[in-house]
Copies of this chain bind each other. A is one copy, B any other.
Amino acid sequence: MAKVGFVGLGVMGGGIARRLLDAGHELAGWNRTKEKAAPLVEAGMTWCDSPREVADRSGVVFTMVTNVAALEAVTGGPDGIVAGLGPGKVYVDMSTVSPAASRELAERVRAAGAEMLDAPVSGSVATLEQGKLSVMVGGDAATFERVEPILHDIGPTVTRVGENGQAVLVKIAHNLQLAVQMLAFSEGVLLAEKGGIAREVAVEVFTSSAIASPMVKYRGPFVLEQPDEAWFDVNMMQKDMLYALEAGRQLDVPLPTTAITNEYLTAARGLGLERQDFAALFDVLAQLAGVEKVRD
């Protein structure tokens, strides 16, 4: 078993850290708000006073944070992870950040003598708990092989898709489709509903049809009732859309449905729905369609 470290112990990061602990690894960790780490400390994780200390103590360091700014905060500076890296160590970032930021960070890690992989996961907390997470990995093949066994302790499907930054690229190229599918689904539901078909019926028909992706199946019913807590809120979704749009501009790929959908996410914020699951795209469109009772 390896000496591993984990920085960013929120719902998702904390759950992954727990799996590493359960698999028998020696775990050191740090989180911005210490309280959240308490259950893990109780379960055997060593608390560190800075991200750097986590890196100092570990052969393989993981991060799972919210965005590029948070990633910079835990990796840069004298207390950051990069300062604690060195030859032989591997740094694995599981956050969904922009490919450009990920590649640039890999450069800095390499300059410190270590290696980096980007390893975003696909799936939700539920998937994680079921032990079914998929991990996509970007980085060089030799480094990948070294940490592959540890990644398998996180989820059963581990795939190297390419070089540094390419796994997060695939992730955001995937995530843009979540939002677009949701807006198109909302168009379909509202068309049926204003034509006299009960919303429940439309949802039922669509969720067992040719457009019923897993996303449509689990999120479609949210147009009937939003979950108590957002699975992936408007702001989180827009963050990924922005990374996609940024990458599109850098790679000269026009993203018409992404761009249009992103403006509806902005509208969701304009209407005060930013903390709701991004199924709130439905609410924006429903309001424009003059639907009086948007939600129960």
Q: Is the CB of B257 within 8 A of A259?
A: no
Contact of A177 among B123, B181, B242 (CB under 8 A): B181
Q: Is A194 an interface residue (CB 8 A)?
A: yes
A250-281: CB near B (< 8 Å → 1, else 0) gives 01111111111111101101111000000000
Q: Is the CB of A253 within 8 A of B194?
A: yes
Q: Is the CB of B178 within 8 A of A202?
A: no
Residues in B with CB closer than 8 Å to A264 are: 254, 256
Q: Is A61 an interface residue (CB 8 A)?
A: no
Which bucket holds chain A's interface residue count? Answer: 35 or more
This chain: copies in complex: 4
Contact of A196 among B162, B172, B188, B248 (CB under 8 A): B162
Residues in B with CB closer than 8 Å to A272 are: 290
Q: Is the CB of B252 within 8 A of A187?
A: no
**In the complex, what residue of chain B is closest to A290 when comparing beta carbons?**
B270
Residues in B with CB closer than 8 Å to A213 are: 181, 210-213, 216
Q: Determine chain A's interface SS by DSSP, over half rule.
A: helix
Q: Is the CB of B270 within 8 A of A289?
A: yes
Q: Among the listed stretches A1-9, A51-59, A163-171, which one makes contact with chain B, having 4 or more residues with CB under 8 Å of it?
A: A163-171
Measured in the bound complex, the distance between the Cα atoms of B210 and A286 in whole Å is 25
A101 to chain B, nearest CB (A): 14
A185-204: CB near B (< 8 Å → 1, else 0) gives 10111111011110001100
**In the complex, what residue of chain B is closest to A242 when comparing beta carbons?**
B249
Measured in the bound complex, the distance between the Cα atoms of B185 and A180 in whole Å is 9
- Beyond the given A173-B187, A173-B195, A184-B184, could you list 14 further A-B residue pairs with CB under 8 A, ordered by the A residue number? A123-B210, A161-B205, A173-B202, A176-B187, A177-B206, A210-B214, A211-B213, A211-B214, A213-B216, A248-B266, A252-B290, A255-B263, A270-B289, A287-B287
Q: Can you list 19 residue pairs at the A/B interface with Cβ under 8 Å?
A: A99-B195, A123-B210, A159-B205, A169-B195, A173-B188, A174-B205, A174-B206, A176-B187, A176-B191, A177-B187, A178-B210, A180-B180, A181-B213, A191-B247, A191-B255, A254-B270, A257-B257, A269-B290, A270-B289
